[in-house]
Chain A
Amino acid sequence: MQIHVDRLRKQYGDFELAIADFTIPAGQALGLVGNNGAGKTTLLRLVLDLIRADEGAVQIGGHDVAQTFDWKRSTGSHLDDAFLIDFLTPDEFWAFVGSTYGLSEDAVQRAVQPYADFFTDEPIGQTTKYIRDLSQGNRKKVGLIAALLAEPAVVVLDEPFASLDPRSQLWLKEHLNEQQAARPVTMLISSHDLGHVTDVSDRIALLDGGEVVRDVRTTPDTLSELEAYFARTIRSQEEASAASGA
């Protein structure tokens, strides 16, 4: 299932996200990187129809996300804590999310078993703590499992590696790669962790000032190129502030 962005524009005060034409083919993993305020989360929210675009449209599997709802059954997502229902236990939450995909409780229980090594706070199937009582890292894991448990054709994740311990980051990275190898899952993953995001992505798009300024296939050199790019932006900012100080 491909994600297609067509002449998308969203204005927030002085900030404008403007993406002319952008496609993530079915089965491709796209990593979205950029500084704070570059428009990554805005783009993800537009993709998930959480905000209304001023112009243009996003299509998932050919469905305009603002006009139809069929795409939701094929899309798993986790952006932030607003995706969690914090007065439920993790098991209850996964069962609820599973039901939104038409999965029975038994099917959900089977679907979450592979994540027993990832969510180690309490035994899956016997969780008793409410999500609000979990650590930030465990809350993130609950959301990630919810996004992935129905094996959706499209996965949209915002900062999936943030707040996770190193072991869990590596586990997640392997799991995402395994998922992609096993079936044609389209992924849109935003992250500040350049190393991890390049490891799980076939392609990297760099957002800056609301525009896609770089869109490249991932190669062994991508990580160093990205690091060089962001280093240059630091230097250019330092030079700009030095010039304004002088």
Chain B
Amino acid sequence: MPFRTWLAHRWKRALRSVSLARNALRSILTVFMGLYGTLAFLGAGWAFPFVVRELVPGSSPLGLLNAYLLIGLLVLTALRFFLQGASGEALRPYLHLPIARSRLVGYQMVASLASWFNILPLCALVPVALQVEWPGGAVGALCWWIGVLGALAVSHYAALGLRAMLGRGMTRFLAVTGGLGALVGADIALGLGLSTGASGALFGGLAAGGVGPLAVVVGAVGAAAALTVRVVRRTLWADRGAGAASRGRLTGAGLDLGDSLTARLVALDLRLILRNRRPRQLMGYQAVALPLLGVLVAISPERGLTVAHIMLGLFASSLLAIGYGQFIFAWDGGHFDGLLARVAPPDTLLRARLFTLCGLGAVSYLPMLPVLAWVDLRVLWISAVGLIYNLGVTVGFTLLTSLWNRKAFDLNEQAFFNYQGFSSSQFLLVFLFTVPPIVVFLALPFGWALGIVGGVGALGIALMPWWMRALAGGFARRRHTLAAGYRSE
């Protein structure tokens, strides 16, 4: 099978996917989000030099970009691990055919580069590259581009390789990334500048037309590709029950999204939001409120770090998750008996809701990135540690409060000024986990606050398996009480 046939199959697979054909709304939304993402990243790249000149007068936009590119790529690799499709899935239908598996893996290694996780960063980098001055002239620009493309490829292959190797074993991955994140955070907080220095040396060297940095990147690409091919090939033979690893399981920590029931429960949540008036309106209002808050903060004459700046950064990845999450199970009140009678074990419900909240966090955060960068780069930093804090702390506490939701929601009432199901205890609990990080940012130096809030979040993520088990136990104990409440008993 030639490579073009492989590409044609990939294209047809995307175009003829059952879900795409059956759900026009989702297709339109996907196209819209793709366009929005492309334009947002293009806009962010175009605005970057202006923002730098405004906020850090006298510094070079290219220099600043180079200093943080490596950290950005580390974050990108972590995001890919959770969100990017696995490599083995596409290979599975071909494994029984008389085609060398090494060839199939090679095809997939190349074809998988056409990913949004590679396209969107390039959308942001192209406008920057067109506006900056290159210290190494045209040769420097060429070397820099080869280096950036190579670094993206390394990030891509590293994520694929880690996925194949760990099977999305979250605990190990989170331990490694948490450790790395803590090191980088400490480096920034303490002003050591090791990570930014290394990044600046690598990409700055490329921009100056240096051969040494180019050799480093090319070598890294080769090593990453070779290792990933080796790991992916090995997983093709591994007996993991219908290719568990390649379908993207979050094992370890008992967080198994590959389980089709969990995935279906997450899909059920999405349908619940899209097809019912109250959750749809609630999510819609909050999705609008975030950028609006961003605009208000941006146009305010206050240049210092205000509560509004901090709230914008922290809520960028949590507002939708809190809005939806604080009523989890109450949304399901009308069909809770059916879920309880069928879903085994019942804590699968809780696990699915965890993924929904994490997904809502990502959905609200990613489109907000350009807005946050436009408002203030410090807000972008707050939002980054806010994301970690929300995944590690906010999501867990939100799920905990949901175990006390005993009033079923009428899904088709309007959300505006509708307080059905709200209670003061929920309000207070939400305050309990949203106020402390704000206080930390107001009371401590910026770097320390970033480290502490991010550290607490990372600790929460590391302890996720433990608190998920505790929440599952709580759910098992309270399931009858919840069900009775939803039956108005």
Question: Is B337 in the interface zone, CB < 8 Å from A?
Answer: yes
Question: Is A49 in the interface zone, CB < 8 Å from B?
Answer: yes
Measured between alpha carbons, how far is A96 from B349 in the docked complex, in Å? 13
Asked if residues A72 and B337 are in contact (CB atoms below 8 Å), the reply is no
Asked if residues A99 and B264 are in contact (CB atoms below 8 Å), the reply is yes
Measured between alpha carbons, how far is A70 from B272 in the docked complex, in Å? 27
Asked if residues A51 and B345 are in contact (CB atoms below 8 Å), the reply is no
Given contacts A87-B271, A99-B260, A130-B275, A50 and B343 within 8 Å (CB-CB)? no
Q: Hey, what's the 0/1 contact readout for A29-68 against B, CB within 8 Å counting as 1?
A: 0000000000000000100111110000000000000000
- Contacting residues, chain B, for A104 (C-beta < 8 A): 260
- Contacting residues, chain B, for A85 (C-beta < 8 A): 268, 335, 338
> Chain B: interface secondary structure?
helix
- Contacting residues, chain A, for B411 (C-beta < 8 A): 87
Asked if residues B344 and A69 are in contact (CB atoms below 8 Å), the reply is yes
Asked if residues A72 and B343 are in contact (CB atoms below 8 Å), the reply is yes
Q: Hey, what's the 0/1 contact readout for A88-112 against B, CB within 8 Å counting as 1?
A: 1000100111011010100000000
Asked if residues B483 and A50 are in contact (CB atoms below 8 Å), the reply is yes
Given contacts A69-B346, A83-B335, A84-B335, A50 and B264 within 8 Å (CB-CB)? no
Question: Is A212 in the interface zone, CB < 8 Å from B?
Answer: no
Q: Considering the complex, give the chain A residue whose CB is closest to the CB of B265.
A: A96
- Contacting residues, chain B, for A71 (C-beta < 8 A): 344
- Contacting residues, chain A, for B484 (C-beta < 8 A): 51
Question: Is A79 in the interface zone, CB < 8 Å from B?
Answer: yes
Measured between alpha carbons, how far is A52 from B484 in the docked complex, in Å? 10
Question: Is B10 in the interface zone, CB < 8 Å from A?
Answer: no
Asked if residues A48 and B271 are in contact (CB atoms below 8 Å), the reply is no
Question: Is B293 in the interface zone, CB < 8 Å from A?
Answer: no
Question: Is B38 in the interface zone, CB < 8 Å from A?
Answer: no
Measured between alpha carbons, how far is A52 from B479 in the docked complex, in Å? 9
Q: Distance (Å) between the CB of B458 and the closest chain A CB?
A: 33
Q: Considering the complex, give the chain B residue whose CB is closest to the CB of A65.
A: B341
Question: Is B334 in the interface zone, CB < 8 Å from A?
Answer: yes
Question: Is B261 in the interface zone, CB < 8 Å from A?
Answer: yes
Q: Distance (Å) between the CB of B454 and the closest chain A CB?
A: 37
Question: Is B336 in the interface zone, CB < 8 Å from A?
Answer: yes
Measured between alpha carbons, how far is A88 from B265 in the docked complex, in Å? 12
Given contacts A82-B336, A87-B272, A97 and B483 within 8 Å (CB-CB)? no
Asked if residues A100 and B335 are in contact (CB atoms below 8 Å), the reply is no
- Contacting residues, chain B, for A80 (C-beta < 8 A): 337
Question: Is A2 in the interface zone, CB < 8 Å from B?
Answer: no
Q: Hey, what's the 0/1 contact readout for B274-313 against A, CB within 8 Å counting as 1?
A: 0110000000000000000000000000000000000000
- Contacting residues, chain A, for B343 (C-beta < 8 A): 72, 100
- Contacting residues, chain A, for B486 (C-beta < 8 A): 82
Q: Considering the complex, give the chain B residue whose CB is closest to the CB of A51.
A: B480
Q: Distance (Å) between the CB of B271 and the closest chain A CB?
A: 6
Q: Which 9 A-B pairs have CB atoms at the shortest separation, nearest pair first?
A: A83-B338, A72-B344, A69-B344, A82-B337, A87-B275, A52-B480, A69-B345, A100-B342, A99-B264
Question: Is B487 in the interface zone, CB < 8 Å from A?
Answer: yes
Task: List 28 A–B pairs whose Cβ atoms lie within 8 Å, in order of A's numbering.
Answer: A48-B340, A49-B341, A50-B483, A71-B344, A72-B343, A72-B344, A79-B337, A82-B336, A82-B337, A82-B338, A82-B487, A83-B335, A84-B335, A85-B335, A86-B334, A86-B335, A87-B276, A87-B411, A88-B268, A88-B271, A92-B271, A96-B264, A96-B268, A99-B260, A100-B342, A100-B344, A102-B261, A104-B260
Q: Distance (Å) between the CB of B406 and the closest chain A CB?
A: 14
